[in-house]
Amino acid sequence: MSPRKLLILTGVVVALFAFIFLIERKLPTTSQREQKGELYWDLPEGEVDSMRLERAGEIIELAKSGDSWRLLRPESYPADSFAVSDLASQLADLKKPAGESGAEGEPEHYGLAKPAAKATFAWRNPKKPGEKHSRTLEIGLDIPGTDVTAARVAGQSKILFVPASLAVAVRKPADDFKSKDVFGPSLEVAGIDVARGRGRLTMAKKRGIWWLEQPISDLADREVVDRLAGDLSSLRVTEFVPRSQAQDLSALGLAPPVYRITLTDAKGKKHALDLGSTRADGNSIYAARDGQVFTVGNSLLDDLSREAIALRDKRLVRFERSDVQGITASVGSKRRAFSRKEAGWSLDGRPVLASAADDLMTPILDAESKSFLEDAPLAAFAQRPAEVELEVRLAAGEAWKVAVHPFRGDFAAVVFRRPGAFAVSRDTVGRLRDAIEKAALAPVATPAPTPTTP
Q: What is the pLDDT of residue 341?
A: 87
Q: What is the pLDDT of residue 28?
A: 41
pLDDT digits (tens, 9 = 90+) for 35-91: 444 888 888 767 899 999 998 889 999 999 888 899 999 989 999 989 999 999 999
Which residues, listed in sequence order, are joined to residue 62 by a DSSP beta bridge? 51, 71
Q: What is the pLDDT of residue 422?
A: 95
Domains of the chain and any CATH numbers: 35-177 (2.60.40), 189-311 (no CATH), 321-440 (no CATH)
Instruction: Measure the CA–CA gap between 92 and 90, rounded to whole angstroms.
Output: 6
Please state, as a whole number, how many other Cβ atoms lie within 10 Å of the Cβ of residue 361: 16
Instruction: Measure the CA–CA gap between 317 and 396, rounded to whole angstroms.
Output: 17
Q: Is the pLDDT of residue 213 over 90?
A: yes
Quickly list H helices, 286-392. 301-304, 354-366, 378-382
356 φ, ψ to 5°? -65, -45
Instruction: Measure the CA–CA gap between 389 and 408, rounded to whole angstroms.
Output: 19
Q: Is the pLDDT of residue 309 over 50?
A: yes
Please state, as a whole number, how many other Cβ atoms lie within 10 Å of the Cβ of residue 170: 25
Could you tell me the pLDDT band of residue 454, with boundaries at 50, 70 and 90? Answer: low
Q: What is the pLDDT of residue 441?
A: 83
Q: What is the pTM of this model?
A: 0.78
Least confident of 18-27, 103-112, 188-197, 348-357: 18-27
Q: Is the pLDDT of residue 438 over 80?
A: yes
Least confident of 13-17, 94-98, 256-260, 401-405: 13-17
Which has the higher per-residue pLDDT, 422 or 7?
422
415 φ, ψ to 5°? -120, 120
Least confident of 15-19, 46-50, 176-180: 15-19
Q: What is the pLDDT of residue 40?
A: 87
Using DSSP, state whether 400 is helix, strand or coil: strand
CA 144 remoteness from chain centre: 44
Non-local CB neighbours of 148 within 8 Å, separated by 6+ positions: 97, 100, 142, 161, 162, 163, 164
